[in-house]
Amino acid sequence: MRGYRVLSLFGGIETGYFALKDAGIPIECYYSSEIDKNAIKVVKHNYPEIVHIGDVKQVRVSELPFVPDLLIGGFPCQDLSFAGKGAGLQGERSGLFFEAVRILRECQAINPNVFFLFENVPMAKRHEAVINETLGIAPWKSCASLVSAQTRKRLWWSNIRTKRVGLFGDVVTDFPQPKDCGIMLADILESDVDQRYYLSDRAFERIFKEKPKTNPEKSYSITPNSATASGGRSRQYTLIGVVNNNGELQHVEKSNCIDANFQKGIDNHGQRTLAVVVNGQGTRLRRLTPVEVCRLFTLPDDFFQTPSGPIIAETNQYKALGNGWVMKVVSHIFSFLPKNLD
């Protein structure tokens, strides 16, 4: 039995590699196309066996020392996201999808049986339709909240597991939803957090122009005995989303979708995911730590750490995670890959 020869596009911190390992899929070699220096630095520390090959525009399958068995990539979402300016696939960043398609076609010309997995955010139907037509397949829709404490919806186009539907037998990506692990935001919080993560009085006043408001239909009273709605477990923390435009406190059990803007203090269309700490010092607000955000992406606590300190700065850790995949979602997908290759 030989391992998979993998080509990863827009590889970032290479959660795909971790997911293959987690799913028990053997790997013979793994090449990554990525240009972000911080992401590459993290990968070189965690997975020194990965070979980096630079900009996706320069990748030529015929020049690789192997024929790929698996092609993966989460192409840029900025021009497709509802939070973006709507340039779509004509945009400079999301338009790199067509580079991924070019590379897929080059792979298929050599290996018609190559597996592929492409990912992106929920988008306008007109953009999704172009991707579907180009790839000849419709996506599978996932929400990471089943395997993590983060509400993160994504689209996945893949030939790893498919089915035909409708009168014309349209091909769709077909993965069963993973089992709900029941992980809540309160479950991933650290108990001892440095003071620098707490909001200063000035930051608090910037968010709340007046005393914090609560919506009785969406909020819970913040008391030392506050409990999550699932199971009624008592917590030191009550978790809320802070909506910047009106300063409303909203109780949530799952984190908002962490994106690349999280290090700027926002995520998921202008909201913030903060912890409300209720203890003898009163009620205080703090942002999530990098370790907690790693847990939201189902990655190890020490993913960005070395014995001598962090691999990259904290702001870049948040950005790298926000651009990445929730590992357990991808591990679930890869669990359907054949374990044996010819």
pLDDT in tens, 27-36: 999 999 999 9
Q: Which residues of 177-194 are buried (b: 16+ CB within 10 A; e: fewer)?
A: ebeeeebbbbebbeeebe
Alpha-carbon span 111 to 9, nearest angstrom: 18
Strand partners, 7: 31, 71
Say which residue, 217 or 48, is predicted with more confidence: 48
What whole-number distance in Å separates Cα of residue 168 and Cα of residue 93? 33
pLDDT for res 227: 39
* E strands, the chain, in order: 4-9, 27-33, 51-52, 70-74, 115-120, 140-143, 153-158, 162-165, 170-173, 213-214, 237-243, 248-251, 271-279, 282-287, 305-306, 309-310
Q: Check if the beta carbon of residue 79 is closer than 8 Å to that of residue 118.
A: no
Q: Can you count the helices (H) and strands (E) in the chain?
A: 8, 16
Work out the burial of residue 279: count CB atoms within 10 Å of its CB; fewer than 13 is exposed, 13-18 middle, 19 or more buried: exposed
**Element containing residue 296 per DSSP (H, E):** helix 290-296
pTM: 0.89
253-256, Cβ contacts within 8 angstroms, sequence gap of 24 or more:
253/149, 253/184, 253/185, 253/186, 253/228, 253/229, 254/145, 254/149, 254/150, 254/151, 254/184, 254/185, 255/149, 255/150, 255/151, 255/185, 255/288, 255/296, 256/150, 256/151
Mean pLDDT confidence for 162-180: 95
Burial class from Cβ neighbours inside 10 Å (0-12, 13-18, 19+) for residue 138 reads buried
Residue position matching structure tokens 């090959």: 53
Average pLDDT over residues 238-267: 70
pLDDT reported for residue 96: 85
Tokens of 225: 């005995």
Q: Is the pLDDT of residue 266 over 70?
A: no
- In this prediction, residue 177 carries a pLDDT of 97
Q: Which tens digit of pLDDT belongs to each residue from 42-91?
A: 999 999 999 999 999 999 999 999 999 999 999 878 767 766 666 777 77
**Vertex 95: Cα angle to 92 and 98 (nearest 5):** 145
Q: Tell me which amino acid residue 300 is.
A: P
Please give the single-letter amino acid code of residue 79: D
pLDDT value, residue 1:
77
> Quick check: 222 pLDDT over 50?
no
> Tell me, what DSSP letter sits at residue 82?
T
pLDDT over 70, % of the chain: 80
pLDDT digits (tens, 9 = 90+) for 177-204: 999 999 998 889 888 899 999 888 887 7
Pairing of strands 282-287, 309-310: unpaired
**What is the token pair recorded at 216?**
């009785």
How much is the pLDDT for 228?
Answer: 37
